[in-house]
Homo-oligomer: A and B are copies of this chain.
Amino acid sequence: MTKVYYECMDDDMVSKDHIQTAFNFRHAAKRFDGTKKIPDSEFELLLEVARLSPSSFGLEPWNIIVVNDDSFRKELLPWCWGAQGQLPTASHFVIFTAKTSAAMLPDAPYAKHALQTVRGLSETEAGEYVAFYKKWLTEDYGRLEAPQLLHEWAARQAYIALGNMMTVAAMRGIDSCAIEGFKIEKVSQLLEARQCIVPKQDLPVVMLALGYRIDPPKPKARRVLNQIVKEV
């Protein structure tokens, strides 16, 4: 599916009702029906919407680890207080990693490599783009001031993909729960031991449990719109 629309036709649109239903369907599922498995074709769609999610400068500074192995889920469990109900019951369990600050430095190979291999820029073009990236990081965005900030910026991009996966899951009747409640250092060590990451390059930032609910959700609590939005 690579159809690109110049104008969007009515038939291509998703109805407002369907969108609102999905956003109300989604909630943070604390455990899942362990007997129900997300079909492969549905999970592939979720990976595909992550893949097509936008990222700043198109650098796609994140990765996804899919934890299928039950024994690895058990290893993770003591270090993931926020996933106690989800790790044992989720149909699919995903860990997002984001590039470290060291990897995201403009002089590190990642940015230039990504621009050449993914965006197809020539070496000269990629070099110019990286120079621009460096200027932006320094002058506008203040990202080179503190060592953690480039990793944080990479993490922000991962959250766009995370949000899209949760939304599209809901649109397909699949429940989810984003999880930040884990010991980053311990989980990193476990991922390294399984050769899923090189911690100098990538670190876990958020997890996503996916499956089918077994409990009714709590009523949604949100600010009202005028607490969120200002107009100028």
Contact = CB atoms under 8 A, between A and B. Distances in A.
A56 B160 contact: no
Contacts of A19: 14, 45, 49, 168, 171-172
Interface in A69-105: 69, 72, 81
Q: How many copies does the complex hold?
A: 2
A200 interface: no
A119 to B, nearest CB: 5
A182 B139 CA distance: 10
B148 A159 contact: no
B164 A167 contact: yes
Contact of A232 (B52, B65, B168, B172): B65
Main secondary structure of the interface of A (DSSP, over half): mixed
Nearest to A17: B1
B63 A232 contact: no
Interface in A122-141: 136, 139-141
Contacts of A220: 2, 4, 52
Contacts of A1: 17, 20-21, 24
A149 interface: yes
A64 interface: yes
Given A53-B163, A222-B51, A196 B66 contact: no
Given A3-B21, A63-B228, A140-B182, 14 more contacts: A2-B220, A9-B173, A14-B14, A19-B49, A20-B45, A24-B52, A26-B52, A51-B222, A51-B225, A65-B229, A68-B232, A69-B232, A119-B221, A160-B160
